[in-house]
Amino acid sequence: MSAANRPKTSLVPPDDAVAPVRHPEAPAPGAPLGAHYDQCFGCGEGQPHGLHLQARAGDGVSVTAEFTVKAAHQGAPGLAHGGVLTSALDETLGSLNWLMHVIAVTGRLETDFVRPVPVDTVLHLEARTTAVHRRKIYSSAVGRIGGPDGPVAVRADAVFIEVKVEHFIEHGRDEEIQAAMDEPDEVRRIRAFEVNP
Ligand SMILES: CCCCCCCCCC(=O)SCCNC(=O)CCNC(=O)[C@H](O)C(C)(C)COP(=O)(O)OP(=O)(O)OC[C@H]1O[C@@H](n2cnc3c(N)ncnc32)[C@H](O)[C@@H]1OP(=O)(O)O
């Protein structure tokens, strides 16, 4: 069956899924994760059009992050675009995989938009991996407004699929892949692909 015709994977883990395992060398709770790749739309410091999301490790396999909605992120006048909010959720959820030292890409991501999010709002994001089944990683996130304990404005459930680093080398545009592999700083080189050191 072609990938396009594959039935959607449920966002609810199967009964024989297992608990996620935090890697012993994962950053300590409270530590910033930093950008995994300078040009990443979600977190890259060198990406002028990006979201500049900053995530911190939490307990277990969890992260928190903040995203400030700018004028460039509008959909309707004065309100954040839903796709931009979904990108912030995707990035936050994606950063969980680093805590397990697993390379994974988003397979399925479902967002509920609960409240409108005005420009200048800080979205307080929290994400957690709940289960792992073979290559599938099940994670959920919420985004609150008005403070870290404020009302939920967005929430998402996702399934990430573990891949090998070859996924990026095979599919990415050559010039960026080569530049990332030529990065002299070993940690930055490894993190561009979120590869286990
Ligand atoms: C560098 C690190 C990034 C750091 C953070 C970044 C945050 C942002 C994250 C992203 O946005 S990643 C970019 C968006 N995602 C992609 O570009 C992925 C595009 N899709 C693919 O490349 C392939 O479809 C994919 C690698 C996901 C799966 O292809 P495979 O051929 O490897 O999967 P396969 O058919 O072997 O299926 C393996 C399992 O995954 C399941 N699966 C496959 N595709 C799925 C899918 N799309 N959704 C849900 N489940 C899926 C499939 O049912 C199966 O489950 P079972 O083990 O139960 O049989």
Work out the average pLDDT over 3-8.
Answer: 88
101-132 as b/e, with b when 16 or more CB fall inside 10 Å?
A: bbbbebbebebeeeeebeeebbbbbbbbbbbb
Inform me whether the pLDDT recorded for 2 exceeds 90.
Answer: no
Residue 160 Cα to ligand 1 middle (Å): 6
Q: In this structure, what are the phi and psi dihedrals at residue 183, rounded to the nearest 5 degrees?
A: -55, 120
Residue whose CA lies nearest to ligand 1 atom number 11? 106
For the chain, helix (H) and strand (E) counts, in that order, are: 4, 6
Q: Which amino acids bring their CB within 6 angstroms of ligand 1?
A: 3, 6, 9, 36, 42, 90-91, 94-95, 105-108, 134-136, 159, 161, 163, 193-194
Range among 36-45, 87-96, 164-173, 185-194 with highest mean pLDDT value: 87-96
Work out the average pLDDT over 31-38.
Answer: 93
Domain map (residue ranges) of the chain? 27-192
Task: For the domain covering 27-192, report its CATH number.
Answer: 3.10.129.10
For the CA of 192, the closest atom of ligand 1 is 1
pLDDT at position 196 is 57
Work out the average pLDDT over 84-88.
Answer: 98
pLDDT at position 195 is 67
Inform me whether the pLDDT recorded for 180 exceeds 70.
Answer: yes
Q: How far apart are CA 147 and CA 133, in angstroms?
A: 34
Inform me whether the pLDDT recorded for 59 exceeds 90.
Answer: yes
Inform me whether the pLDDT recorded for 72 exceeds 80.
Answer: yes
Whether the CB-CB separation of 117 and 89 falls below 8 Å is answered with no
Order of all β-strands in the sheet with 54-57: 54-57, 62-68, 122-133, 136-144, 152-162, 104-113
- The string of pLDDT tens digits covering residues 124-144 is 999 999 999 999 999 999 999
Residue 137 Cα to ligand 1 middle (Å): 10
- The string of pLDDT tens digits covering residues 14-32 is 999 999 999 999 999 999 9
Inform me whether the pLDDT recorded for 193 exceeds 90.
Answer: no
Residue 165 Cα to ligand 1 middle (Å): 13
State the average pLDDT for the chain.
94
